[in-house]
Amino acid sequence: MNATLECLQGDIAHQPEFDAVVNAANAQLRPGGGVAGALHRAAGPALDRACRPLAPIRPGEAVITGAFGLPNRHVIHCLGPVYGVDEPADALLAACYRNALTLAERQGLASVAFPAISTGVFGYPPAEAARVALGAVIATLPDCPHIERVRFVLFDATGAELFRRTLATLQGAP
Ligand code: ADP
């Protein structure tokens, strides 16, 4: 894997160096709260209009739109699993990351920033989500030669530290 993979504290709506940012979307691709609220607020109503014909999406699925008022070229919208409801949760969460990266690769994008999908209102335990998310990205990047840089943007310092520790563990594994 030649791509850079990093985990930082920050706001997914303020990632100007990235070609695409990923939305932790709801099935209807509507604004809502959390990540979706932040991205739609920054993108403006044109993002909501672009999303409508693409909805609904299923858990694990990813779709791509323009980014409008955001400082990126695209938004990739993923529907994570609702923890304890959509099963198998780990496979569905991994599919979000794999499908998002595959879409970015097909568009020839070089950089993608992800939030921690499903760890907000969808209730996925953060430590398990970190393992699944980072494992899926590490497993998919070899099939994405255009992608040079992936960033996980965690809302708080604890989340960023958890993702950094998990990444170190996964990269240290034989
Ligand atoms: P889901 O519905 O997939 O659980 P949420 O948007 O509720 O998605 O939350 C996903 C994660 O993103 C949570 O850990 C939440 O704290 C975090 N989060 C919320 N807003 C932002 C933001 N603006 N930038 C980065 N992460 C955010």
The predicted model scores a pTM of 0.98
Which residue minimizes the CA distance to atom 21 of ligand 1? 35
Predicted local distance difference test score (pLDDT) of residue 2: 80
For the chain, the structural domain boundaries read: 4-170
User: For the segment 124-153, what is each residue's pLDDT rounded down to a tens digit?
Assistant: 999 999 999 999 999 999 999 999 999 999
Average pLDDT, the chain: 97
Residue range 92-109: mean pLDDT, rounded: 98
| b/e 81-119 (16+ beta carbons within 10 angstroms → b) | bbbeebeebbebbbbbbbbbbbbbbeeebebbbbbbbbb
In a 13 Å sphere around the CA of 65, the CA atoms on its Cβ side amount to 24
Q: Which atom of ligand 1 is nearest to the CA of 124?
A: 4
Name the pLDDT band for 1 (thresholds 50, 70, 90). Answer: low
| b/e 132-152 (16+ beta carbons within 10 angstroms → b) | bbbbbbbebbeebeebebbbb
Residue 118 beta carbon below 6 angstroms from any ligand 1 atom: yes
The pLDDT of residue 5 is above 70? yes
Among 155, 156, 163, say which to mutate for ligand 1: greatest number of ligand atoms within 8 Å of CB.
155
Q: d(Cα 109, Cα 125) in Å, to the nearest integer?
A: 30
CATH 3.40.220.10 is right for the domain spanning 4-170: yes
Predicted local distance difference test score (pLDDT) of residue 141: 97
The pLDDT of residue 173 is above 80? no
Residue range 109-114: mean pLDDT, rounded: 98
The pLDDT of residue 64 is above 70? yes
Residue range 73-77: mean pLDDT, rounded: 98
How long is the chain?
174
Which amino acid makes up residue 128? E
Residue 97 beta carbon below 6 angstroms from any ligand 1 atom: no
